[in-house]
Structure 1
């Protein structure tokens, strides 16, 4: 019997990454919203769960797992006996790791940063975020030209890790209509049993750079 809790923030793509995977696995978890605006994530109680002061954090029977990609790996290896989401093949694991790095790299510094600039008005270089976005979305669009999923013939945590910020890229002024294969992949992901959406925020497609 698991006793799962997820500490997150509903408008965080990193948090959605963890919450949607819990749902895809059919796992019940208590979702605890962390008040980032008031700095709750920098207080001692939360820092005891994650010394980096970041969401999300997964609690499983008193054990804490921080970092969204680490949470995906933990859940996939602990609660998916079929090993669909993180296959045991070293080659497939390497391919999945490639796309976990993509999620933590160009997706984080491209679509995610552009969205953060528009939605939360953080001091970020929007031009650079759009340039990175164009590069990674063009590469992903080519990668998905003759395949349905990023790292295997079925959905894996590679797809989970990259979905949220790419799906919400229009909130950062990025036009996904330019990337039809990426759009088709997003649509396939949204048809997976157990999928739950992240709340949408202001769409800023009218921004011209």
Structure 2
């Protein structure tokens, strides 16, 4: 996926305001964090009136970027890979990010369910309605259950694993054959 110079600048400015590089490539996470900053209840956490204007400008800039290139890349991979087996799109931990990806897939005509630890499927099967294997969107912690459900699945990461624990889980899942394949995003700037 390719991120343009304008988008890279907006993401970097927002990450700098939030003093966190971990959110730099996640639009939903940045948007959520900026809105939380604007609505902070405690005076110590609330930015000054002048700074609130700057944060609102960042929110507006983020919303004006247009389609997220990651969504297009993930959607294309899901359409391609679901012909050969189940696909699990792995997102960040925020429910907003899970829903962001699921909503994008739905807009492309791809039905995707959301896995949580409370609502696990019994098995995978062909989805007769959409003519392909099922598609699931889950955070990495939503995948911690019966590994037999992952056996033939391809993991498509919406963004790269962020923690050592997530990286170790992915390495174990791919090296032990728990999953068929894993596809990680590569971000290029123009």
Bigger radius of gyration, 1 or 2?
2
Q: Which has the higher helix share?
A: 1
Give the TM-score category using the shorter length.
Answer: 0.3 to 0.5
**TM-score normalised according to structure 2 size:** 0.33
TM-score under structure 1 normalisation? 0.31
More strand by share: 2
